[in-house]
Structure 1
Amino acid sequence: MSAISKVLGSFLKLIYDVLVGAFPTEPESISFFALSIIVATIVLKLVIIPLNVSQIKNQKKMAELQPEMQKLQKKYKNDPQTLAAKQQKLYKDANYNMLAGCLPMIIQMVVLIAFYRVFIDPTKYAFTKDAFSAMNKNFFFIKSLEEIDKTMVLPIVAAITTFLVSFVTTKNPANETMQNQQSQGMMNGMMIFMPIMILTMGRRMQSALVLYWTVSNIFTIIQQLISNYVVSKGAEEVK
């Protein structure tokens, strides 16, 4: 993880240096440090778009399988073992991979942990001590992203966007079949648990990490809405 943190730290510094060189003056309301976090987050999300495209294709295929899934659920509703076996055969025949959608989430969590290390010790992974001490780190109402946002505005926004990520994900037509099963309760639970967890963490973590999470969520929400539209159109074509 230390190696990943060093790569992300160097990447963050590169963006910061580019911004400093590209603009003659630093905006008063938002520092180059804050801008570098935002830009780095967006670039990283763009890099994994191929994985997300693969995820969309997988979700579209799941939506197309729904009519057959519903038939199996109705036919074997009293025989869960046979239902599970028939579903696995259906997935295999359709070349559908249930784990394909997990990879972008795993990558996001790895990046989150790695960035956490960068922001906890920026002089180890990104900047020299003198340079980091001298730079501005303000972000609108937050005087320094190195500190905790005591106003709780940014953590609350992070929690809200985390909820919206879960909410728009559940609206994906590919998840309708899954929601008819026992996983519905789990998904609803996560929709409530995750925002609370992020809000709690946001009260204790540096604002820089909370800003990264919020920007990442906003990008994911837009991306998921596009995915929902594509998958929905595919499901309509099948019908």
Structure 2
Amino acid sequence: MTQFLSSIIGKILEFIYATVSKIGTEPKSISYFAISLIILTLIYKLAMLPVTLSNAKMTKVNAELQPAMKKLEKKYKHDPQLYQQKVMELQKEMGFSPFASCLPMIVQLIIIWALFPVMRAPMEYTGLSETIATNFFWIPDLTAKDPTIILPFLMAGSQMLYSVLLTPSAKKSDDGQADPMQSMNFMMKYGMPIMFFFFARSYQAGLALYWTTGNIIEIAIRMVLKVVNKEEEVVEEVPKKKKTSSKEKISEGQASKKKKANKKKGA
């Protein structure tokens, strides 16, 4: 399976390289191979956009579920089995799918696993000449490790920023105990970026470039979605405000009429 995916990725990379190389003279600072790898990442992210949007929706639904789940936890704290049943019913009612939330990461790991052999032996999978340049700014060869810690640091930093945007802030429950879900979120925010840093230090720089580029694209998508969601919330709140203001005007009018009537009676 991995071999098959590696072959497909290799052929796509070869096609992108052939297209990019027709542009003109290759820049000295960044090779066509590096540009092709960045374009490959962009194509993958665009192809995965429906899944990303679905994941963003699941994240929002999950955030809305948390208060209700805490209430269920208090109500059924002496019956864990019934609590789990009620949680599943609530998730089904809200349209939340834990698998849908994990799907982008699963696909990402499969792709990165398939990229391993392509980065290790790009000429074998892409059919490109061994004489092509594979540099990326300070990195002389993307098929080898980054001689510095710059790209691993960028990979870990972008992963941390993406995780912060993706997961809610850690909070404590009313009884002062930490929520297990928040503990997992903390691990995603800070534990995984550290793991990715050492991963990027140990393997080909091309893999780190792919992952970092993907993170930057994901961050951009998430920020756009955040702005769009805020605008939608504002649009939803405006009619409510108008309705309440009209009700207030009616009540104020009725109150003033009553005052006038009372004054007349008093006179």
TM-score (norm 2): 0.77
Secondary structure at the residue paired with 2:99? coil
Alpha-carbon offset, residue 234 of structure 1: 6.9
Judge which range, 107-116 or 117-126, deviates more: 117-126
Structure-1 residue corresponding to 2:13? 12
Distance 2:66 2:136 in 1: 46
Q: Conserved in 1, the CA contact under 8 Å of 2:145 and 2:203?
A: yes
Structure-2 residue corresponding to 1:151? 148
Alignment of 1:95 with 2:95, yes or no, is yes
Judge which range, 6-15 or 97-106, deviates more: 97-106
Q: Conserved in 2, the CA contact under 8 Å of 1:171 and 1:228?
A: no
Distance 1:80 1:230 in 2: 38
> Residue 218 of structure 2 aligns to which amino acid in structure 1?
T
Judge which range, 210-219 or 199-208, deviates more: 199-208
Higher relative contact order (CA 8 A, sep 6+): 1
Structure-2 residue corresponding to 1:184? 182
Alpha-carbon offset, residue 70 of structure 1: 3.8
Secondary structure at the residue paired with 1:134? coil
Distance 1:233 1:80 in 2: 39
Distance 1:172 1:145 in 2: 36
Alpha-carbon offset, residue 93 of structure 1: 2.5
In 2 relative to 1, CA 82–229 (structure 1 residues): closer, same or farther, beyond 3 Å? farther
Distance 1:24 1:229 in 2: 38
Q: Conserved in 2, the CA contact under 8 Å of 1:56 and 1:231?
A: no
Q: Conserved in 1, the CA contact under 8 Å of 2:115 and 2:207?
A: yes
Q: How does 1:117-196 map to 2 (within 5 A)?
A: 117-128=117-128, 131=129, 133-171=130-168, 181-196=179-194
In 2 relative to 1, CA 139–107 (structure 1 residues): closer, same or farther, beyond 3 Å? same
Alpha-carbon offset, residue 230 of structure 1: 5.2
In 2 relative to 1, CA 176–200 (structure 1 residues): closer, same or farther, beyond 3 Å? same
Alpha-carbon offset, residue 98 of structure 1: 1.9
Distance 1:176 1:227 in 2: 27
Structure-1 residue corresponding to 2:105? 105
Alpha-carbon offset, residue 8 of structure 1: 0.5
In 2 relative to 1, CA 127–135 (structure 1 residues): closer, same or farther, beyond 3 Å? same
Distance 1:57 1:148 in 2: 37
Q: Conserved in 1, the CA contact under 8 Å of 2:63 and 2:168?
A: no
Alpha-carbon offset, residue 66 of structure 1: 4.4
Deviation string, structure 1 residues 66-116 (Cα, Å, up to 9, x no partner):
453343234334543332221111112333222111111111111101111
| Superposition RMSD in Å | 2.9
Q: Which runs of 4+ in 1 moved over 6 A?
A: 232-236
Question: Which has the greater radius of gyration?
Answer: 2
Identity of aligned residues (%): 36
Distance 1:138 1:46 in 2: 25
In 2 relative to 1, CA 67–184 (structure 1 residues): closer, same or farther, beyond 3 Å? closer
Deviation string, structure 1 residues 25-57 (Cα, Å, up to 9, x no partner):
111211101100101001101101011122223
In 2 relative to 1, CA 68–189 (structure 1 residues): closer, same or farther, beyond 3 Å? closer
Choose from 201, 204, 214 the match for 1:203: 201
Structure-1 residue corresponding to 2:61? 61
Distance 1:120 1:176 in 2: 45
Distance 1:100 1:235 in 2: 24
> Residue 148 of structure 2 aligns to which amino acid in structure 1?
T
